[in-house]
Amino acid sequence: MLTVGLTGGIGSGKSTVSALLASHGAVIIDYDKLAREVVEPGSPALQAIAERFGSGVIAADGTLDRPALGAVVFADESARRDLEAITHPAIRDLAVARQLAAGDDAIVIHDNPLLVEMGAAAHCDVVVVVDVPVDLQVERLKATRDMSEDEARSRIATQASRQERTGAADLLIDNTGPIDELDSIVGGVWDELVLRAAAAEGAGRDSAL
């Protein structure tokens, strides 16, 4: 098994890269989906969130009111860190379970926008970072998510810096070009991951002899 951390700032195109890697045969562990699963009604994480942030972040049907919670945590760094202290351990545990279920010969992609922030990069065999300039992130967020420039820059500021992410990268994907160019780049990255997986398997066989 080869474990790959995939990350990129909001608006970088990480999800598109993830989908392209899936089309090549990668097993994707989507941390955005995990983050929703761990706060389903009745979960310990949702109960802890209600205790920390109050009933105002719980909708009438018992689900998490994400906009209400977001309004709190994106405006208050200490509140955001409290939320992360609740959700990140639960997300990690679920990710480990999904990885174990993937099979020994799988190339497992941990599609995680907070890979660097969670300190998870060190636990991956390979780290792939999707990179674009901050100004391009802002333009994409304005165009695709109807954010103002201030809102976009505020969201970007809650994540690791571009320098922190690229500093953790083993493989860097420049996503400033068109989608057909990205398709070709990701194909090359996949070929490299296959080679690394084969090398790791060969090394494992050698060490067992």
The pLDDT tens digits along the chain (209 residues) read 999 999 999 999 999 999 999 999 999 999 999 999 999 999 999 999 999 999 999 999 999 999 999 999 988 889 999 999 999 999 999 999 999 999 889 999 999 999 999 889 999 999 999 999 999 999 999 999 999 999 999 989 989 999 999 999 999 999 999 888 999 999 999 999 999 999 987 765 444 33
Please choose, from the candidates 140, 45, 133, the residue with its C-alpha nearest in 3D space to the C-alpha of residue 92: 45
The predicted pLDDT at position 172 comes to: 97
The pLDDT of residue 158 is 87
- Quick one: pLDDT at residue 206? 47
| pLDDT value for 208 | 39
In angstroms, the CA 200 to CA 5 distance is: 16
Q: Which two tokens stand for residue 104?
A: 């020994």
- The dihedral over CA atoms of 89, 93, 94, 99, expressed in degrees to the nearest 10, equals 130
Q: Which of 2, 206, 3 is nearest to 112 (CA)?
A: 3
What is the predicted pLDDT for the residue at 136?
96
Strands (E) in the chain, as ranges, are 2-8, 27-30, 107-111, 126-131, 171-174
For residue 139, report the phi and psi dihedrals to the nearest 5 degrees.
Answer: -60, -40
Reduce the DSSP state of residue 31 to 3 states and report it: helix
> What's the pLDDT score for residue 103?
86
Query: How would you classify residue 62: left for phi > 0, otherwise alpha for psi between -120 and 50, otherwise beta?
Result: left
Of 41, 57, 44, 21, the residue nearest 93 (C-alpha): 44
Amino acid at 59: A
Give the model's pLDDT for residue 66.
93
Q: Compute the chain's Rg from CA coordinates.
A: 18
Structural class in CATH, domain 2-198: alpha beta
Give the pLDDT confidence score for residue 202 in this predicted structure.
72
